Chain A
Amino acid sequence: MISARAILSRSASLLACLGLLGIWQIGALILNTESFPTALEALRAIPSILGDKEALINILASLRRMAVGFALALVVSIPLGLMMGRSRAIASFFNPLLMIIYPVPKAALMPIIMLWLGVGDIAKTLVIFLGVSLPVIYHSFQGARAVEEKMLWSGAAMGLSALQRMIRIVLPAALPEILTGCRTGLVLALITMITSEMIARQSGAGNILFNALDMGQYDTVFAMIIIVGAMGIGLDAAFENLRGRLVRWSEPRFDIPLSFS
């Protein structure tokens, strides 16, 4: 039997969303200004955006850049982070570099990158790549550093070479930590995607948003915010699902381990 409490906790996020929309609706009705459409007006604008071929092409282009930037960042950052975690020399070489890049907002690099690479896909993908890289490097580094020495020795005794130990022991052992970094990276990819399109206005979801702002189509502005937010929530939920399946082994099936010598 499902208790009322369980139903409540399961539908909590839905209730929170509805609550937020409700407050928005009431707030907008009270304020009654043109620049703050009601929740219903914004929601009503969504189908027309998603039904518009050009808008869809823009959004898909955004997602494509995001996917490419994210994937490239993983391909570079995971091996780099793992190597840094296992080699003091590599870590001491890259650490100062990363320390310098870390606090710089990646969008602040956009003007320079635009200057060198133009306002096209390459510049925007590069910014996404930079935004995703740091958390993934950091978490891969931490994960690799925490791998038990004796686990690697066990592998070495079985005849695994240094490279095999890296791929077949360090990588899976650090996977829970790596995926935590990837999750942060995914959200950062979405953020840098929109920011890059705000700065280099040529195409993309960010471009639709700011064009609508320029033209005073406030319902479209808010509808785009909802669409981008929904994309973020959807991507994050999908990633969490994948992560849960990949590292099922790291979470015990029982609360208390089996007791038997």
Chain B
Amino acid sequence: MKLLPLRSDIPAESTPRRGLAPAMIEIDRVSQIFQTSGRQKHLALSEISLTIEDGAFVSILGPSGCGKSTLLYIVGGFVSPTGGVATMKGKPITGPGPDRGPVFQEFALFPWKSVLGNVMYGPRQQGVKPAQAEAQSRALIEMVGLKGFEDFYPKELSGGMKQRVALARTLAYHPAVLLMDEPFGALDAHTRTRLQNDLLNIWERDRKTVLFVTHSVEEAVFLSDKVVVMTRSPGRIKEIVDIDLPRPRRRAELLLDPHYQKYVVDIEHMIDDTSEDELRP
């Protein structure tokens, strides 16, 4: 297991080169214990340490129940860890904040607000003037490919469209980090591919830090700079794989690229090993 040392000594203005970029998020020996219904304690996360550099696209990959979403919720401040500490730009995370924008698998849109109303919600909360918030939001809606749907309600949209709205809504308040919790998990294969491509295109523009939880190996390799492979029960980091594939990535080229294929196969092997671990007594 290769972990980057905690490098708070690196000045923030250093050029973002992989491995040398300043740390955006540091997770230091974070553990999470859940009380199960049978009064037993379940160790969901065990002493996880991870550094996420500024501008990096990091995926957390693992089987369901490995605590990967819990780790994301801890970074989001929605869940407090039972042990350890997560920091953002050196400050301990104590609760949710607009510097970390979540995008959930369940979309979690406000159903009583139109598409425009949903996207404007964050900027308005931040005190942006209505006209300015609306202009920014309309531009974002266009960017995620939903021009013409501004006045629709979430109930009238398909899953893929809802997730586009959710992404625009989160981007609208300019979080420094995007926290994506299996965002495309509820979508069909075709829609999923389209959204992956569009997410990459959007991400290429400003290279925000992204923490992306998924259980799809292809998705993780296609999108990420770094894939964190996790094991189950207790959730631990098995390996961190740097994905050294050129950007911007084109899906059609990448699928034919032997490097890409090797990453996918190697990581699948790691996950297979993990599953066998579970079978041991």
Contact = CB atoms under 8 A, between A and B. Distances in A.
B222 to A, nearest CB: 17
Contacts of B97: 157, 159
Contact of A153 (B78, B109, B169): B78
Nearest to B192: A261
B108 A153 contact: yes
A158 B110 contact: no
Interface string A142-172: 0000001011011011111000000001001
Contact of A259 (B98, B104, B110, B158): B158
B156 interface: yes
A250 B96 contact: no
A261 B194 contact: yes
Contact of A257 (B100, B156, B190): B156
B102 interface: yes
Contact of A154 (B104, B111, B112): B104
Interface residues of A, number: 26
Contacts of B111: 173, 249-250
B96 A260 contact: no
A157 B156 contact: no
A252 interface: yes
A150 B108 contact: yes
A249 B158 contact: no
Contact of A249 (B126, B153, B169): B153
A29 to B, nearest CB: 53
B150 interface: no
A172 B98 contact: no
A171 B191 CA distance: 33
A249 B102 contact: no
Nearest to B96: A156
A260 B162 CA distance: 10
Given A148-B108, A158-B173, A249-B111, A261 B191 contact: yes
B106 interface: yes
A250 B155 CA distance: 7
Contacts of B96: 153, 156-157
Contacts of A253: 152-153, 156
A258 interface: yes
Given A151-B108, A157-B101, A173-B111, A261 B160 contact: yes
A186 interface: no
Contacts of B109: 151
B81 interface: no
B175 A157 contact: yes
B235 interface: no
Nearest to A169: B110
Most chain B Cβ neighbours within 10 Å, of A151, A172, A259, A260: A260
B76 interface: yes
Contacts of B175: 157
A250 B110 CA distance: 11
Contacts of A160: 125
Contacts of A159: 97-98, 125-126
A116 interface: no
Contact of A172 (B108, B110, B126, B191): B110
B195 interface: yes
12 contacts: A148-B106, A153-B78, A154-B108, A154-B170, A157-B98, A159-B98, A172-B110, A173-B110, A249-B112, A253-B152, A253-B156, A254-B156
Which 8 pairs of residues, A with B, have the shortest CB-CB distance? A261-B160, A261-B191, A150-B108, A156-B96, A158-B122, A172-B112, A249-B153, A150-B104
Interface of A: 148, 150-151, 153-154, 156-160, 169, 172-173, 175, 247, 249-254, 257-261
